Copies of this chain bind each other. A is one copy, B any other.
């Protein structure tokens, strides 16, 4: 049985995984999920990326939105607002709240996040093994100008505040994964990477999703040292992110929003193969010159079948570059 490890952020990662499962239903897929965008809201621990993967693969996702639950209601949120308790900019529905209540209760009882995630997945049966990148708290902060702080003043805001409340409207000067240096990979993460037949980077955010996962000490090294080929799919198509505001955070780390710049950002020490969209076919030569095998194929996840085709291309490229 083919063992595939996927480093995944939220919506992009989750949708890619659905295609991958469709392409290779018998594969044993381990997902290493980003937890850098986790946030404490109303005293509850919210793990947006893990939940997006779990709900998407488990059949509970709000399809159009890409995050949150289908058939959602918002009574709790309305009541919290009536109490004057915010933030109101983070859209937690009633069904979603239950997930965070269960998670928070289990964490309070002493279970690590990896065990909690496994328990939540017992219900959702996502068909993959979903591991948080770490059981330790890592919180992505974004450094932006502080308009109230005088000339040149800057302040750090939680990634969710930057992404959801501000819609990434301010320039990001730096991305700071608070706690990353002290974090350890969650149980099973390094073992899964070492035992993988293929490692995939889906078209997730290269900075605040995959970059954060790779920033947990030991994970980047494990991926680089793995015997498995490592193949990524560009989240940048035609010079802009397919969805989201990845260009904003790429700028913060000095990377152009192009399919080839992202490949070079990961680097040939990490990536063996890279898929760009057909509109970026001109970028193939530059990526290959950098030592990364590259193919141009359709990369729009318009439906499960198109996404499955992308996954098959990624797996084919992995076979081609297998060391």
A-side residues, CB < 8 A to B, are: 42-44, 73, 75-80, 82-85, 93-95, 97-99, 101-102, 104-105, 108, 119-120, 122-123
Known interface pairs A79-B95, A123-B83, A123-B84. Does A42 touch B73 (Cβ–Cβ under 8 Å)?
A: no
The one of B73, B78, B83, B122 in contact with A120, judged by C-beta atoms closer than 8 angstroms, is B83
Please list the 9 inter-chain residue pairs (A to B) with the smallest Cβ-Cβ separation, ordered nearest first.
Answer: A79-B98, A43-B105, A75-B94, A76-B98, A94-B94, A79-B95, A42-B101, A80-B98, A83-B102
- Cα A319 to Cα B122 with chains together (Å): 64
Question: A83 CB to closest chain B CB, in angstroms?
Answer: 5
The one of B80, B93, B95, B102 in contact with A101, judged by C-beta atoms closer than 8 angstroms, is B80
User: How many copies of the polypeptide does the oligomer hold?
Assistant: 2
In the complex, 15 of the A-B residue pairs with CB atoms within 8 angstroms, ordered by the A residue number, are: A43-B105, A75-B94, A75-B95, A76-B76, A76-B97, A76-B98, A78-B95, A79-B94, A80-B98, A80-B101, A82-B98, A83-B99, A83-B120, A84-B123, A85-B102
Q: What is the chain B residue whose CB lies nearest that of A109?
A: B43
- Cα A122 to Cα B95 with chains together (Å): 27
- Cα A42 to Cα B44 with chains together (Å): 11
- Cα A75 to Cα B93 with chains together (Å): 9
A102 touches B80 (CB 8 A): yes
Known interface pairs A43-B104, A108-B43. Does A99 touch B79 (Cβ–Cβ under 8 Å)?
A: yes
Q: What is the chain B residue whose CB lies nearest that of A69?
A: B79
Question: A100 CB to closest chain B CB, in angstroms?
Answer: 10
* Candidate in A94, A120, A123 with the most chain B CB atoms within 10 angstroms: A94
Complex interface: chain B residues within 8 A of A98 (CB): 75-80, 82-83
Question: A142 CB to closest chain B CB, in angstroms?
Answer: 24
- Cα A98 to Cα B94 with chains together (Å): 10
Complex interface: chain B residues within 8 A of A73 (CB): 73, 75, 94
The one of B79, B93, B101, B123 in contact with A82, judged by C-beta atoms closer than 8 angstroms, is B123
Known interface pairs A73-B75, A75-B73, A94-B73. Does A44 touch B80 (Cβ–Cβ under 8 Å)?
A: no
Q: What is the chain B residue whose CB lies nearest that of A72?
A: B75
- Cα A256 to Cα B120 with chains together (Å): 50
B75 touches A105 (CB 8 A): no
- Cα A97 to Cα B83 with chains together (Å): 12
Question: A117 CB to closest chain B CB, in angstroms?
Answer: 13
Q: What is the chain B residue whose CB lies nearest that of A120?
A: B83
The one of B97, B108, B122 in contact with A97, judged by C-beta atoms closer than 8 angstroms, is B97
Question: A58 CB to closest chain B CB, in angstroms?
Answer: 11
- Cα A77 to Cα B94 with chains together (Å): 9
Question: A198 CB to closest chain B CB, in angstroms?
Answer: 32
Known interface pairs A43-B108, A94-B94, A108-B43. Does A101 touch B76 (Cβ–Cβ under 8 Å)?
A: yes
- Cα A262 to Cα B97 with chains together (Å): 45
Complex interface: chain B residues within 8 A of A101 (CB): 42-44, 76, 80, 97
